[in-house]
């Protein structure tokens, strides 16, 4: 919890998902672990970890210092869990990790007898010796001959640790090692090798994750329908009442633009509300099918999905209240505004930076467009 560079970095939203959520999703879907744990000293990190299905080991103050290492935290964990024989230490800062990588690594240890396996990435970079200020000497090439430089396609490159994960058997860790014994490396694809701690900033990381991240077991499909809750998503949830008992609400024009952009991409937009706000909708002139006074939102959503002949993967849902939770769980793509209630945030796949009535619909629309680019890219491949 004490990250100096980015406060509470491990639960900061990356492409709408807490950073730690990306690796926890991959670890869970890999199906190779008997248990999945997050070691932390912070209440909020514990809360997010449990939302993604992990158990939590509360670190002691002794291994929660700036100088504390992962190895110290793992050894403390093992002191409380004598049933554990193998540890896969996965770094939260590697959000493009995929279950397929973890499955292959588990096989290397469990079936091929390696004591430790760690992740690497192949890089094609020429290295030169450092010359410090004041030293009267020339730099020297480290891995090339300047008179005969390799073309990239003629040089296999070099392997570098990328810090994504370190697997090791218990007996090694107890001796103070994460790498040792019969060792093996696992080469990750370059596009999956994202380390936020070292060489990437947040906006670039978001683009990488949207392009190469792991989004779940089911393949993404093209969204055909977005259903948006009116109160708290399209509006900020506030109702203003005039002296003559007329209701007024406010909305953000950016959200109207977002709805128009979705329509232009061939995505239908439908609205839903638990209260009767038909007059408000008429005044807004959005041209969207709407269902008001909806006592059962999930039933409405199911009826629309079936009438349109869509699979759930082709339906997106933006909600913010407890009454939206089941819809968020069913939809193939789900989102909530930044100020949505806790249970809705837990059920959603994407948490907007914008609050309801303040651009959340536009933001979620842009998120949909980015994921559709991923779908189209996969089709081309």
Question: Mind telling me the catalytic residues?
Answer: 149
**Cα gap 170→89, rounded to integer Å:** 12
The position carrying tokens 């995505």 is: 267
Beta carbons of 232 and 340 less than 8 angstroms apart: yes
Which has the closest alpha carbon to 56: 32, 75, 39, 77?
39
């Amino acid at each position: 919890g004490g990250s100096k560079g980015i406060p509470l970095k491990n639960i900061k939203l990356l492409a709408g998902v807490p950073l730690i959520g990306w690796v926890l999703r991959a670890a869970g879907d890999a199906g190779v672990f008997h248990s999945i744990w997050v070691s932390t000293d912070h209440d909020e990190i514990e809360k997010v970890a449990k939302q993604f299905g992990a158990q939590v080991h509360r670190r002691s103050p002794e291994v929660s210092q700036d100088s504390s290492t992962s190895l110290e935290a793992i050894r403390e964990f093992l002191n409380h869990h004598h049933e554990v024989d193998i540890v896969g230490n996965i770094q939260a800062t590697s959000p493009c990790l995929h279950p397929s990588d973890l499955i292959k690594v588990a096989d290397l240890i469990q079936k091929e007898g390696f004591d430790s396996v760690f992740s690497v990435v192949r890089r094609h970079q020429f290295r030169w010796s450092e010359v410090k200020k004041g030293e009267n000497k020339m730099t020297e090439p480290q891995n090339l001959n300047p008179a005969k430089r390799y073309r990239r396609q003629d040089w296999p490159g070099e392997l570098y640790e990328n810090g994504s994960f370190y697997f090791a058997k218990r007996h090694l860790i107890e001796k103070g090692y994460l790498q040792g014994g019969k060792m093996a490396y696992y080469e990750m694809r370059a596009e999956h090798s994202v380390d936020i701690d070292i060489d990437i900033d947040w906006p670039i990381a978001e683009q990488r994750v949207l392009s190469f991240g792991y989004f779940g077991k089911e393949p993404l499909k093209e969204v055909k329908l977005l259903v948006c809750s009116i109160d708290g998503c399209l509006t900020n949830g506030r109702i203003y009442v005039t002296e003559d008992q007329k209701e007024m609400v406010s909305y953000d024009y950016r959200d109207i633009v977002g709805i128009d952009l979705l329509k232009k991409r061939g995505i239908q937009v439908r609205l839903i509300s638990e209260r009767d706000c038909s007059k408000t909708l008429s005044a807004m002139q959005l041209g969207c099918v709407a269902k008001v006074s909806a006592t059962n939102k999930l039933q409405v959503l199911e009826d629309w999905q079936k009438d349109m002949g869509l699979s759930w993967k082709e339906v997106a849902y933006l909600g913010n209240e407890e009454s939206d939770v089941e819809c968020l769980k069913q939809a193939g793509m789900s989102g909530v505004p930044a100020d949505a209630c806790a249970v809705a945030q837990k059920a959603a796949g994407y948490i907007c930076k914008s609050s309801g009535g303040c651009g959340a619909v536009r933001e979620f629309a842009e998120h949909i467009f980015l994921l559709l680019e991923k779908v189209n890219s996969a089709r081309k491949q």
